[in-house]
Every structure is written in structure tokens, then in C-alpha cells.
Amino acid sequence: MNAVKIEIHGGRLTVESPYNEDFVAEARLLGGKWNRDERRWAFDARSEGLVRELCRKVYGDDGITADTVTLRVRWTERVEQTCDTVSLGGRVIAAATGKRSGASWGRDVIVLEGHCGSGGSTKYWHTWVAEGTDVLLRDFPRQLAEQFCAGTSSPICTIEPEQPIIDRAALEAERERLKARVAEIDSLLGRAV
């Protein structure tokens, strides 16, 4: 199932996707605006290529084809973040909101072993993930997973093999949209179809 849903209506492109801090930062650079009521990002439709490229980079999913894997991550030492979440590749692993709030696991995090929590002082609280914690991160972008597995010694990352997910209905809808756009371009060029 695709994590990203992209729709185009007139001159407006909208993106529904899970929260990811990297996506938020780059979406703003592309002129994206968060619509609180609709709970989705809005862009100028002319930025479609750039927006789909960003979605592939961050989510491994451009609303048509998802190239994601399950990433297995094992921490060889305790990890802490002061007044923030513990994240990997923009994906929330564990989140706390204060010194005594405790921490909860992020979306699509499957815990095989270990635990997380909160601590510190009232002003400088922190979220932590214990040494030896072993998790699976579902729907992780393949390209990002490969970078982590090639370049890190802590945490230890491995990719669990999976097949890419292809949303046939989304591909067919995209084909029809492209056919209509090609017809429109041909008409503008004076080569009526």
C-alpha cells in the first residue's frame, strides 16, 4: 500500500503522507503549504515532478510506485535526544513529551527487543532508546536504507528483503492523466490528435 497519495485538481497538487521532518523542511522549500483543515500539503501543480522526486527521496513512494523495504535496526549503545524525538532518516523511532511522560514507539516501528523512555530534567528532558534495542522499520525508503546499511556501524542496519509495491489503480490513473496531458500539448502545438 502506498504511503503517499498525490492528487491534482486544476492548478493545485496535494500530498497526503505520514509525518516526516525531512519532508516538511523540503516541502516548504518547494513552496508547499500545510493545510490544517484538509491535513495535507498543497503545491503549485507545475511542481509535480519536483514534489514526486521529493516523495521518492523521503518515502520511497511517489504515489504511483513504492520502493520500500523493512529496515532492521539494532542499537549498540543507548541513544538520547534532548527535548526531541529519537529519529532515523526523518522517521520517528521513539517520542517523549517531557521528563516523566515516558516514550512511545513511532509509526510502523515493530519492536523485537528493547525499550524506550524519557528522563532528564524538567527543562532539559530527553527521549532515549536503550542499548540492544532491535526494531523493524516498515515501509522505509530503499535508497535511504541502503545508505544507512553501507555507512553506519552504530546502529547496525540490515535490509529485510521485500518486493516493491505497485499500485495498479494509481498507475492506470496516472496513464490516463498523462494521455490527456499529451493530447492537450498536441493541441497547443497545433497537431490535433
Mean of the pLDDT values across residues 106-122? 94
Is the pLDDT at 123 greater than 60, yes or no? yes
**pLDDT of 131-185, one tens digit each?**
999 999 988 888 888 888 887 666 889 888 765 667 788 889 889 999 998 988 8
Which percentage of the chain shows pLDDT scores above 90? 57
Q: Are residues 139 and 79 part of one domain?
A: yes
- Residue 152, SS3 per DSSP: coil
Higher pLDDT, 192 or 44: 44
Q: Are residues 92 and 28 part of one domain?
A: no
Q: Residues 6 or more apart from 41 whose CB is under 8 A from it?
A: 14, 15, 17, 27, 32, 33, 34, 35
Mean of the pLDDT values across residues 111-120? 96
Higher pLDDT, 87 or 168: 87
Q: Are residues 59 and 88 part of one domain?
A: no
Q: Are residues 90 and 153 part of one domain?
A: yes
Q: Are residues 62 and 75 part of one domain?
A: no
Distance of alpha carbon 54 from alpha carbon 31, whole angstroms: 13
**pLDDT of 38-65, one tens digit each?**
999 999 999 999 999 999 888 888 888 8
Dihedral sign for Cα atoms in the order 73, 78, 79, 85: positive
- Element counts in the chain: helices (H) and strands (E): 4, 16
Q: What is the CATH number of the domain that holds 62?
A: 3.40.1170
Residue 193 has what pLDDT? 54
Domain-located, residue 104: yes
Mean of the pLDDT values across residues 5-29? 92
Distance of alpha carbon 89 from alpha carbon 140, whole angstroms: 9
Q: How many structural domains compose the chain?
A: 2
Question: By residue range, what is the domain housing residue 94?
Answer: 69-160
Q: Are residues 155 and 76 part of one domain?
A: yes
Q: Are residues 17 and 73 part of one domain?
A: no
Q: Are residues 49 and 77 part of one domain?
A: no
Q: Are residues 74 and 44 part of one domain?
A: no
Mean of the pLDDT values across residues 119-140? 94
Residue 38 has what pLDDT? 93
Domain-located, residue 165: no
Q: Are residues 156 and 74 part of one domain?
A: yes
